[in-house]
Amino acid sequence: MTVQPVQSARPALGRWAHCGGVNTPGCGKDEACFDCADAGFSCLRSSEFFWQCTDRGTGGRTGASGIAAWGRCGGYSHECAEDGPCMDCAPKLSCNRVNAYHYQCEPQGREPVSLSTVRAETDSPQAGATEPAPALAAAAAPAAVARWQPCGGINTPGCGKDEACFTCADPKFSCKRGSEYYYQCEPNQGGQEGAPPLPGDAVKRWAPCGGVNTAGCGKDEACFTCEDPEKFSCLRQSEWYWGCQPAAQPAPPVPSPGDAVARWAACGGMNTPGCGKDEACFTCEDPEKFSCDRQSEWYWGCRPKQPEQSEKPPLPGDPVERWAPCGGLNTAGCGKDEACFTCKDPTFTCFRQSEWYYGCMPEQPAAPNPPARGDAVARWAACGGMNTPGCGKDEACFTCGDSTFSCDRQSEWYWGCRPEDSTIAPPAPGDSVKRWTACGGMNTAGCDKDEACFTCEGDGFSCLRQSEWYWGCEPSQTRPQVSRPSIPSGGQTVDPVPASNASAASESLGEKQVVPTGSGQKKEDWGSIVLGQPSENSAVGELDSELYSEFYAELYDDDTAAPNEGAVTQFSGP
């Protein structure tokens, strides 16, 4: 039985959202990948990198072709070969020139730019002409422009100069210079009405008082004064901005050696003013509770005194409480990468977490063995596949306990006991399933998701993830690390690792599960482990050093990610 993928509906996005284009997450193509949720909006192209849900009133209609508002529609680029418009704009938009390299679709109201007017501006006059070619065609200069609209600059139709050509209709807005090419109607400082202040005028607290970008100034200096000169002064932030900010307070006097400083203050060190040495230069105000402690050669600080230890650390061999540190480099009384103390509770053992820490933790019960080849497993359980414990091959390794179920292949990684009668329903999410049974994953009947859908029967078993396709009920204790054997040299061999050793426990290598080897089971060979393939008949340790080196040299041709099939066959067999 094959699980059919569910086709998800194309999502609908909100107003002005990115709905397509190469740079849009989830799309990556120069097309509309998503729908617009609002009936008054449609997905229109701004460029190959950006599509946007645009208002039909200013950007087109359903199914309309054309560039959306503020999208690029011309200029020298890989899409256009000349200084002019080369693409159509959506309805109620016109293609206007910003510069020779950029034209954009803007709401109609300003005079649209045509290719003939651009050529007339850029081409030199013909011989014998009595006057130069006309500049950009512009409508009659408006008496006032709306908020945030262009009001001057070389690129503004009807102006063509580096100055404010128009006034702003709203008295709380004024024409401010953005660059020599663009002026815009922006809010006045502090919401004041009328023209911007004149040099020498007083402005409110925190208002701009100078700088190249400040209206009424345009220079890298303080052009205005501050209304509260006793507390605020015009301070420079950059060449573009000066602001009325609180006047700098005089710095406190530097303490002298021996003076008392406040809690948590610097009391010594090479970076501390008044000290400059790697020592404690000052005392702390509360000497009973704070002391000057060294943090580094650069800094000493007044820190709370540490209480004296009432008990000495344990000696090697002493018993410690449950969950207490029992070894490691960071454990007091040990300082070595080993277990220095024992655990008082006999049901607890000193386990190594890292070279720095060992802790007294409960002993883990031994994991039950997975089913053996030929055993019968429960309904819906895994009965074969490379990720199934006790199998490790792309075949049916176990039988199904219920005669009405058969072992069906889902993929090379998973075979499962499925009913021959399609009317039998799989377990529902939340049901309890047996040990070693599939309990989640996209290939698991009744789940079809990359998560744990069912619970596991029996203590000590939990639903563990093997891959997005399979989750299985397996022993819940943590699997120990597997130490990789050293590479043999000079044709010598390495002894196989016994099955009882902890280093032979199962380990996940890429997408492959290495199952513990025991009596009656074949050993895994390290060549197959590196390749992520199940072993057939090779044993650990029988690796020739020259063949091992030649294999790695031939495995990847020209530093590419594709393996050399010849080297793979030579090393691990067909």
Please tell me which of 13-27, 183-197, 329-343, 531-545 the model is most confident about, judged by mean pLDDT: 329-343
pLDDT at 550 (0 to 100): 52
Closest to 171 in 3D by CA, of 196, 207, 206: 196
Residues 91 and 26 in one domain: yes
In a domain, 211, yes or no: yes
Closest to 105 in 3D by CA, of 92, 95, 97: 95
pLDDT at 6 (0 to 100): 44
pLDDT at 183 (0 to 100): 87
Q: What is the mean pLDDT of residues 1-9?
A: 50
Distances (CA, A) of 107 to 57, 71, 73, 282: 10, 11, 13, 69
Using the 8-state DSSP alphabet, how is residue 488 labeled? Answer: P
Q: Decide which of 409 and 196 is more confident.
A: 409
Residues 404 and 430 in one domain: yes
Q: Is the dihedral of CA 376, 381, 384, 389 positive or negative?
A: negative
Q: What is the mean pLDDT of residues 315-325?
A: 90
- Kindly compute the dihedral angle of the four CA atoms of residues 294, 295, 299, 302, in this order, to the nearest 10 degrees: -60
Confidence of residue 478 (pLDDT cuts 50, 70, 90): very low
pLDDT at 159 (0 to 100): 86
Residues 353 and 273 in one domain: no
In a domain, 447, yes or no: yes
- Is the pLDDT at 41 greater than 50, yes or no? yes
Residues 23 and 118 in one domain: yes
| Contact yes or no for 421/404 (Cβ under 8 A) | yes
Which tens digits make up the pLDDT trace of 488-517?
Answer: 444 444 444 444 443 333 333 333 344 444
User: In what helix (H) or strand (E) does residue 161 lie, and over which residues does it extend?
Assistant: strand 161-164
Which distant-in-sequence residues (6+ apart) come within 8 Å of 352 by Cβ? 327, 328, 339, 358
Strands 336-339 and 342-343: unpaired
Single residue among 294, 328, 362 that ends a domain in this structure: 362
Q: Which of 240-244, 326-330, 373-377 has the lowest average pLDDT?
A: 373-377
pLDDT cut 90: percent of the chain above it: 17
Q: Which of 127-136, 269-278, 384-393 has the lowest average pLDDT?
A: 127-136
- Is the pLDDT at 139 greater than 90, yes or no? no
Q: Decide which of 481 and 373 is more confident.
A: 373
In a domain, 2, yes or no: no
User: In what helix (H) or strand (E) does residue 185 lie, and over which residues does it extend?
Assistant: strand 182-187
Closest to 121 in 3D by CA, of 96, 84, 90: 84
Q: What DSSP string runs through 62-112?
A: TT--SBPTT-EEESSSSS-SSSSB-SPBPTTEEEEEEETTEEEEEEBTBPP
499-513 per-residue burial string, b: 16 or more CB within 10 A, e: under 16: eeeeebbbbeeeebb
Closest to 260 in 3D by CA, of 279, 287, 234, 300: 287
In a domain, 219, yes or no: yes
Q: What is the mean pLDDT of residues 287-301?
A: 92
Q: How far apart are CA 266 and CA 306, in angstroms?
A: 18
In a domain, 77, yes or no: yes
Confidence of residue 55 (pLDDT cuts 50, 70, 90): confident
Residues 52 and 113 in one domain: yes
Q: What is the mean pLDDT of residues 555-559?
A: 46
Give me 496's structure tokens: 């196989």
- Expressed as residue numbers, the domain containing 279 is 260-304
Which tens digits make up the pLDDT trace of 67-83?
Answer: 777 777 888 876 777 78
Residues 299 and 275 in one domain: yes
pLDDT cut 70: percent of the chain above it: 70
- Is the pLDDT at 463 greater than 80, yes or no? yes
In a domain, 106, yes or no: yes
pLDDT at 484 (0 to 100): 39
Q: How far apart are CA 416 and CA 429, in angstroms?
A: 18
pLDDT at 299 (0 to 100): 93
pLDDT at 305 (0 to 100): 86
Q: Decide which of 360 and 47 is more confident.
A: 360
Angle between helices 545-555 and 565-572 (to 10 degrees): 160
Give me 199's structure tokens: 């040099």
Give the three-state DSSP class for 263. Answer: coil
What's the 3-state SS for 357-390?
EEEEEECCCCCCCCCCCCCEECCCEEEEECCCCC
- Is the pLDDT at 115 greater than 70, yes or no? no
pTM of the model: 0.22
Q: What is the mean pLDDT of residues 84-112?
A: 77
Residues 283 and 242 in one domain: no
Which distant-in-sequence residues (6+ apart) come within 8 Å of 524 by Cβ? 514, 517, 535, 540
Confidence of residue 357 (pLDDT cuts 50, 70, 90): very high
- Is the pLDDT at 570 greater than 80, yes or no? no
Residues 45 and 75 in one domain: yes
Upper half-sphere CA count for residue 121 (Cβ side, 13 Å): 19
Amino acid (one-letter) located at 18: H
β partners of residue 21: 29
Q: Which of 27-36, 258-267, 308-317 has the lowest average pLDDT?
A: 308-317
Q: How far apart are CA 506 and CA 370, in angstroms?
A: 12
Residues 111 and 170 in one domain: no
In a domain, 489, yes or no: no
- Is the pLDDT at 64 greater than 80, yes or no? no
Number of Cβ atoms within 10 Å of the Cβ of 10: 9
pLDDT at 349 (0 to 100): 92
pLDDT at 431 (0 to 100): 83
Residues 236 and 159 in one domain: yes
Single residue among 475, 492, 517 that ends a domain in this structure: 475
pLDDT at 536 (0 to 100): 44
- Phi and psi at residue 103, to the nearest 5°: -115, 145
Q: What is the mean pLDDT of residues 287-295?
A: 91
Residues 223 and 268 in one domain: no
Q: What is the mean pLDDT of the chain?
A: 74
How many structural domains is the chain composed of? 6
Q: What is the mean pLDDT of residues 225-237?
A: 90
| Contact yes or no for 202/227 (Cβ under 8 A) | yes
- Is the pLDDT at 329 greater than 70, yes or no? yes
Residues 26 and 114 in one domain: yes
pLDDT at 342 (0 to 100): 93
pLDDT at 103 (0 to 100): 84
In a domain, 494, yes or no: no
- Is the pLDDT at 213 greater than 80, yes or no? yes
Q: How far apart are CA 312 and CA 300, in angstroms?
A: 28
pLDDT at 524 (0 to 100): 40
Single residue among 246, 274, 295 that ends a domain in this structure: 246
pLDDT at 474 (0 to 100): 86
- Phi and psi at residue 424, to the nearest 5°: -75, 125
**∠ Cα 246 248 253 (to 5°):** 145
- Is the pLDDT at 405 greater than 60, yes or no? yes
Give the three-state DSSP class for 257. Answer: coil
pLDDT at 118 (0 to 100): 38
Match 């800094």 to its residue by tokens: 299
pLDDT at 189 (0 to 100): 63
Q: How far apart are CA 80 and CA 102, in angstroms?
A: 10
Q: How far apart are CA 517 and CA 502, in angstroms?
A: 11
- End-to-end Cα, the chain, rounded Å: 30
Q: What is the mean pLDDT of residues 175-202?
A: 76
pLDDT at 192 (0 to 100): 54
Confidence of residue 367 (pLDDT cuts 50, 70, 90): low
Q: How far apart are CA 284 and CA 261, in angstroms?
A: 5
Amino acid (one-letter) located at 105: C
| Contact yes or no for 120/126 (Cβ under 8 A) | no
